[in-house]
Amino acid sequence: MSQGIENKVVVITGASSGLGEATARHLAERGAIVVLGARRADRIEALASELTARGHKAKAVQTDVRERNQVKHLVETAVREFGRIDVMLNNAGLMPLAPLERLKIDEWDHMIDVNIKGVLYGVAAALPHMKTQKSGHIINVSSVYGHVVDPGATVYCATKHAVRALSEGLRKEVKPYNIRTTIISPGAVSTELLEHISEKDIQAGTREFVSKIAVSADTFARTVAFAVNEPDDVDINEILFRPTAQPV
């Protein structure tokens, strides 16, 4: 496995906006080969074209992380085109906040399918290749809400706690294969995340709170770059960051 970021093959789910898009740009600028997955093909294809035009290596693969075969295809495309997978960034997620009593059960299912099962499908797709390579790095995106539970955010918090639990188990299980694992738990970052809150009163309240304190998506990208850039014998297992102004 090469040290640093340059020439590493990095697969990113949820690369069409927010944290995933910012990370694709940041890592590509630092010499990584980025393979972009998301449902909005127009967005990731435009990003891949833009990065390629600037002399970087990038490829877009339309991917719905709720479909395990599509996640497998995303990773297999990376390995076929670029020879290996060095980093799997399981970033796709959504946060339609609402108190349990509003019974937004379809949204619970959606969060469980994307935020938990989507991450597991990413692990399943990357692991066989990384085991064969005897190297690799799996980065899973949790949240401050993977550390605390707030009323109104219960199911989202449960999914992000699950991401931390499965990542910690993964960390211990992949020791024989020289695979690194990192959990990144951001606080409030300015992205499209709040656009998918269907309860308008909750969306307005959350927007008001987040808009006052959120930091830019590049903050997250720099934490990914830090973990990836560390030498091979250093395993950055968890990064938790908040805007300085965030009280929770």
Question: Could you tell me the smallest distance in angstroms from the CB atom of residue 80 to ligand NAP?
Answer: 20
Q: Is 145 a catalytic residue?
A: no
Question: Could you tell me the smallest distance in angstroms from the CB atom of residue 184 to ligand NAP?
Answer: 8
Question: Could you tell me the smallest distance in angstroms from the CB atom of residue 144 to ligand NAP?
Answer: 6
Cβ nearer to ligand NAP, comparing 7 with 211:
211
Helix (H, G, I), strand (E, B) or coil at 68: helix
In this structure, which amino acid lies at residue 20?
G
Question: Could you tell me the smallest distance in angstroms from the CB atom of residue 140 to ligand NAP?
Answer: 9
Cβ nearer to ligand NAP, comparing 93 with 136:
93
Q: What b-and-e string marks burial along 208-234, b requiring 16 or more CB atoms within 10 Å of the CB? A: eebeebbbebebbbebbbebbbbeeee
Cβ nearer to ligand NAP, comparing 125 with 135:
125
Cβ nearer to ligand NAP, comparing 13 with 223:
13
CA distance 167 to 138: 9
Measuring CA to CA, which residue among 13, 16, 29 is closest to residue 68? 13
Q: What is the DSSP letter of 233?
A: T
Cβ nearer to ligand NAP, comparing 192 with 232:
192
Strand-pair partners of 11: 35, 88
Question: Could you tell me the smallest distance in angstroms from the CB atom of residue 41 to ligand NAP?
Answer: 8
Residues 6+ apart with CB under 8 A from 62: 37, 38, 39, 41, 44, 70
Edge-to-edge strands, sheet with 33-38 = 57-62, 33-38, 9-13, 87-90, 136-141, 179-186, 238-241
The residues of the shown chain that bind ligand NAP, judged by CB under 6 A, are: 13-20, 38-40, 43, 63-66, 91-95, 114, 141, 143, 186, 188-189, 191-193
Q: How far apart are the first and last CA of the chain?
A: 39
Helix (H, G, I), strand (E, B) or coil at 176: helix
Which among 121, 145, 156, 177 is annotated as catalytic?
156
Q: In this structure, are residues 26 and 20 in contact, taking their beta carbons and an 8 Å threshold?
A: no
Q: Which residues are catalytic?
A: 156
